[in-house]
């Protein structure tokens, strides 16, 4: 009866765990001693005496393995740790008067391999979280635009040439800003990915749980898409209105409308210029913030 109740509680905890997105970890974590067979208990005690540092590393890695992002990784690493531990405990050289150097080398090599697999799992969590965040951010940007177009049609709103090109320019600039923000994040991730997967704690760098990494990267992806879009739109409004004149606009909206229907390059220059400006605003936040700050300063000066 007790085993049945204990099993049902474990099943319930497992189901609850599986319903928490990005937190598929074992709510009943195990230690190395749980992997030791009864007949190898004495060998495990000897293992701790002969190789205390390696034992602690293996224990720590086993704890991280139970918080891995992918379920297959958790299962695979559990099997790997159990195999390594069994090999060491059954090795005849473990009972020697001095720690065997070859056994120590075997432990160090296996510990390094487990660490590499855990780091790869963390990178997968970061990449998958960012990808889902970027996709969600793009969807949240595109859907309102599609709905807005249908609302204009239902309300029988007609746009003049200047209004139409002004809105199109904002969309082009904002969309390019969103893509620039995505590229900026991917570039930073490539250059400093390890910093994203580790956080300061008591003066050292501690590993962030992969589930938390995925959630943080997903939120960061959505945030960056919207931030790049908003910055690009702000720069478009500032430059288009003439409030900031640090960059000369090659083709004004009135010029584009005047050349509409003729073989003129004004439209091409318009698209290319605002696309480049939007991408730069999304990719380089500091540059965009500088323009926005300059616009605010000039506004105060004119007031």
From residue 104, give the alpha-carbon distance in Å to each of 114, 222, 291, 300.
Answer: 15, 46, 59, 70
Please list, in sequence order, all residues whose beta carbon lies within 8 angstroms of the beta carbon of residue 205, skipping any fewer than 6 positions away: 198, 199
Task: Enumerate the domain spans of the chain.
Answer: 10-125, 159-198+210-295
The string of pLDDT tens digits covering residues 273-294 is: 888 999 999 998 888 888 888 7
pLDDT of 10 > 80? The answer is no
pLDDT of 238 > 80? The answer is yes
Please list, in sequence order, all residues whose beta carbon lies within 8 angstroms of the beta carbon of residue 193, skipping any fewer than 6 positions away: 123, 126
173-188 mean pLDDT: 86
Among 67-71, 103-107, 191-195, 223-227, the range of highest mean pLDDT: 103-107
Lowest mean pLDDT among 121-125, 205-209, 222-226, 268-272: 205-209
User: What is the torsional sign of CA 133, 115, 77, 19?
Assistant: negative
For 286, what's the count of Cα atoms within 13 Å in the CB-facing half-sphere?
1
Torsion, Cα 72 78 83 86, to 10 degrees, reads -170
CB 67 within 8 A of CB 25: yes
CB 35 within 8 A of CB 85: yes
The string of pLDDT tens digits covering residues 70-91 is: 888 888 999 999 999 999 999 9
Cα 180–126–184 angle (5° rounding)?
15
Residue 187, judged by CB atoms within 10 A of its CB (0-12, 13-18, 19+), counts as exposed
The string of pLDDT tens digits covering residues 13-58 is: 444 343 334 445 555 678 888 888 899 999 999 999 999 999 999 9
The string of pLDDT tens digits covering residues 89-128 is: 999 889 888 889 999 999 999 999 999 999 888 888 888 8
Question: Which region, left, alpha or beta, applies to residue 91 given φ > 0 means left and ψ of -120 to 50 means alpha?
Answer: beta
Alpha helices in the chain (DSSP H): 2-19, 41-50, 52-65, 71-89, 101-154, 161-191, 193-197, 210-241, 253-258, 266-283, 285-302
């Amino acid at each position: 009866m007790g085993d049945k109740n204990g099993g049902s509680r474990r099943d319930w905890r497992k189901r609850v765990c599986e319903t928490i997105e990005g937190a598929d970890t074992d709510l009943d974590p195990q230690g190395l001693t749980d992997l030791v067979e009864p007949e190898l208990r004495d060998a495990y005690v000897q293992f701790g005496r002969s190789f205390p540092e390696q034992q602690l590393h293996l224990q720590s890695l086993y704890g991280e393995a139970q918080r891995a992002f992918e379920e297959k990784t958790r299962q695979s690493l559990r099997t790997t740790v159990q195999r390594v531990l069994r090999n060491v405990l059954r090795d005849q050289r473990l009972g020697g008067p001095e720690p065997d150097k070859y056994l120590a080398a075997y432990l160090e090599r296996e510990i390094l391999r487990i660490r590499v697999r855990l780091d790869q799992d963390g990178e997968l969590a970061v990449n998958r979280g960012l990808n889902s965040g970027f996709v969600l951010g793009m969807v949240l940007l595109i859907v309102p635009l599609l709905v807005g177009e249908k609302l204009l049609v239902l309300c029988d709103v007609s746009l003049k040439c200047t209004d139409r090109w002004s809105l199109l320019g904002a969309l082009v600039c904002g969309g390019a800003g969103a893509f620039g923000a995505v590229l900026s994040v991917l570039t930073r991730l490539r250059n400093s990915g390890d910093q994203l997967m580790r956080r300061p704690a008591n003066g050292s760098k501690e590993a962030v749980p992969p589930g938390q990494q995925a959630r943080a990267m997903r939120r960061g992806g959505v945030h960056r898409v919207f931030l790049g879009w908003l910055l690009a739109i702000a720069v478009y409004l500032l430059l288009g209105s003439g409030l900031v004149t640090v960059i000369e606009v090659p083709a004004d909206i009135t010029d584009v409308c005047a050349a509409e229907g003729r073989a003129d390059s004004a439209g091409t220059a318009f698209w290319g210029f605002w696309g480049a400006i939007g991408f730069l605003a999304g990719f380089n936040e500091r540059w965009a913030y500088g323009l926005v700050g300059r616009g605010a300063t000039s506004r105060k000066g004119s007031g």
